[in-house]
């Protein structure tokens, strides 16, 4: 069956017919086609642009998310209290935690902002890295809160020793694991040692472990910090539906924290910050293990293809435990980025101080084949 805009709408049940189960099953694994069909009319991307610049999942949400959105559409006129409770319950069940440990956010960005607001002050600085995900530092700067930035080490890993050295008197430490944009990860032992060291140096400092790319990690030494967060009021773990779940445009994320910490953070939330459609899609997605496994596999394959291409072209490609690669192209990345853009490929922005590194998000295999053709010329 070719997926056209018309049968996409029909599959969602918005076109009147509303027959869902059979078409949905038939489209399992072809979520990208569903999205592409929809984008034809409603998309905002310039036609044909291949977007490898924001670490999104190119395939979009799973089919169960589509089904859930369709079923929830009739509730669009209602405030989302009941769907919020449903998502909290689903997250709690999935992680084997209490509902009191869960805080929802409009994307994990809201969680990051809550933490900066709640734990930093003019006297209690934020410790972050360079480069890492910029949002906590930019929130802190907007609020006039001091920021201490620690460069990554020569292997592009967060320099945990140097970050711990800056912990004294800090309100919050932002620990992105895996780190965006360097794609490096720290194993369980290193995370635990870091937390213990920070606690010794500065008992009141809170550590926010951002696990946005958790599902993409293959390194066997890695573990989620959620068990630590459950018993330690000064450790918070953030997660998102924007990456492996393919819902960056829907905006849903969450944190897992000790119940006292969760209660404190709840007070800073924007009430009803997630819309009913995103809530429904997230609730359906978090238990859709088949979809998660499919997206992990697709990412692994397209990433291996891309890595092999760069290595064959003579570039060293570091470890990547995420859905993007960070490659030292040994020249200013800006003209290369510009050249790619002119040929319809969007790649990552500069991430100072790594100005000769190119961050490329992993798209579909077809997109990566096209991107490497363009990169061949741009890097010639
Ligand atoms: C490490 C990290 N954390 C958080 C976010 C924010 O994601 P969202 O607000 O979509 O959950 C991103 C987005 O790229 C990210 O890379």
* Ligand 1 site-directed mutation target among 54, 110, 179, 240, most atoms within 8 Å of CB: 240
- CATH number given to 45-62+289-378: 3.90.1150.10
Considering only residues 275 and 271, tell me which one the structure prediction assigns the higher pLDDT.
Answer: 275
Q: Which tokens go with 349?
A: 């922005």
Burial of 298 (0-12, 13-18, 19+ CB in 10 A): buried
Ligand 1 centroid distance, CA of 326 (Å)? 17
* Ligand 1 site-directed mutation target among 109, 129, 239, most atoms within 8 Å of CB: 109
Ligand 1 centroid distance, CA of 98 (Å)? 24
Identify the pLDDT of residue 46.
Answer: 64
Ligand 1 atom closest to residue 252's alpha carbon, by position in its atom list: 11
Ligand 1 atom closest to residue 253's alpha carbon, by position in its atom list: 11
Domain boundaries for CATH 3.90.1150.10 within the chain: 45-62+289-378
* Ligand 1 site-directed mutation target among 104, 112, 133, most atoms within 8 Å of CB: 133
Edge-to-edge strand list for the sheet holding 172-176: 102-105, 253-257, 235-240, 206-210, 172-176, 126-130, 147-151
Q: Summarize pLDDT for 339-356 with one digit per residue, the tens.
A: 999 999 999 999 999 999
**Residues contacting ligand 1 via CB (< 6 Å):** 55, 107-109, 133, 176, 180, 210, 212, 240, 242, 248, 253
Identify the pLDDT of residue 136.
Answer: 98
Identify the pLDDT of residue 48.
Answer: 85
Q: Which tokens go with 151?
A: 């460069």
Indicate if the pLDDT at residue 108 is higher than 50.
Answer: yes
Identify the pLDDT of residue 13.
Answer: 45
* Ligand 1 site-directed mutation target among 57, 103, 108, 282, most atoms within 8 Å of CB: 108
Average pLDDT across the chain, whole number: 91
| pLDDT tier for residue 270 given thresholds of 50, 70 and 90 | confident
Ligand 1 centroid distance, CA of 109 (Å)? 6
Ligand 1 atom closest to residue 178's alpha carbon, by position in its atom list: 1
Domain boundaries for CATH 3.40.640.10 within the chain: 74-285
Burial of 380 (0-12, 13-18, 19+ CB in 10 A): exposed
Assign a CATH topology to domain 74-285: 3.40.640
Let me know: does 72 contact 83? Beta carbons within 8 Å: yes
Ligand 1 centroid distance, CA of 174 (Å)? 13
Identify the pLDDT of residue 34.
Answer: 58
The predicted model gives 143-167 an average pLDDT of 98
Indicate if the pLDDT at residue 373 is higher than 50.
Answer: yes
Ligand 1 atom closest to residue 54's alpha carbon, by position in its atom list: 14
Ligand 1 centroid distance, CA of 276 (Å)? 20
Indicate if the pLDDT at residue 42 is higher than 90.
Answer: no
Q: Which tokens go with 43?
A: 């998309």
> Considering all CA atoms of the chain, what is the largest pairwise distance in Å, rounded to the nearest integer?
63
| pLDDT tier for residue 20 given thresholds of 50, 70 and 90 | very low
Let me know: does 136 contact 120? Beta carbons within 8 Å: no
Identify the pLDDT of residue 325.
Answer: 98
The predicted model gives 316-326 an average pLDDT of 96
Ligand 1 centroid distance, CA of 17 (Å)? 37
Residue 323: count other Cβ atoms within 10 Å of its Cβ: 28
Ligand 1 centroid distance, CA of 20 (Å)? 32
Q: Which tokens go with 220?
A: 């066997």
């Amino acid at each position: 069956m070719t997926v056209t805009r018309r049968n996409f709408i029909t599959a969602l049940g918005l076109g009147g017919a509303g027959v869902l189960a059979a078409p949905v099953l038939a489209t399992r694994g072809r979520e990208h086609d569903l999205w592409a069909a929809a984008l034809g009319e409603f998309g905002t991307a310039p036609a044909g642009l291949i977007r490898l610049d924001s670490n999104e999942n190119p395939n979009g949400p799973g089919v169960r998310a589509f089904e859930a959105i369709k079923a929830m559409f009739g509730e669009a006129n209602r405030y989302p209290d009941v769907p919020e409770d449903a998502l909290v319950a689903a997250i709690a069940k999935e992680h084997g935690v209490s509902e009191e440990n869960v805080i929802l956010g409009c994307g994990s960005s809201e969680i990051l902002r809550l933490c900066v607001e709640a734990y930093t002050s003019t006297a209690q600085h934020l410790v972050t890295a360079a480069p890492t995900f910029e949002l906590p530092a930019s929130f802190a700067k907007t609020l006039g809160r001091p920021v201490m930035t620690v460069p990554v080490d020569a292997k592009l890993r967060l320099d945990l020793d140097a970050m711990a050295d800056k912990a004294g008197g800090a309100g919050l430490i932002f620990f992105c694991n895996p780190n965006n944009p360097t794609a490096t990860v720290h194993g369980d032992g290193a995370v635990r040692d870091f937390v213990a060291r920070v606690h010794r140096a500065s008992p009141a400092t809170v550590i926010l472990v951002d696990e946005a790319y958790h599902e993409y990690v293959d390194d066997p030494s890695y573990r989620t910090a959620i068990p630590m967060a459950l018993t330690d009021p000064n450790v918070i773990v953030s997660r998102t539906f924007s990456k492996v779940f393919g819902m960056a445009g829907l905006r849903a994320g969450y944190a897992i924290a000790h119940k006292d910490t969760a209660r404190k953070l709840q007070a800073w939330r924007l009430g009803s910050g997630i819309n009913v459609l995103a809530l429904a899609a997230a609730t359906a997605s978090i238990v859709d293990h088949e979809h998660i496994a499919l997206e992990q596999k697709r990412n692994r394959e397209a990433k291996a293809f891309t890595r092999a291409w760069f290595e064959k072209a003579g570039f060293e490609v570091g470890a990547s435990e995420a859905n993007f690669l960070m490659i030292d192209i040994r020249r200013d990345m800006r003209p290369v980025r510009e050249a790619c853009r002119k040929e319809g490929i969007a790649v990552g922005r500069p991430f100072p101080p790594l100005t000769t590194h190119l961050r490329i998000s992993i798209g579909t295999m077809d997109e990566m084949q096209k991107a490497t053709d363009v990169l061949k010329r741009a890097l010639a």
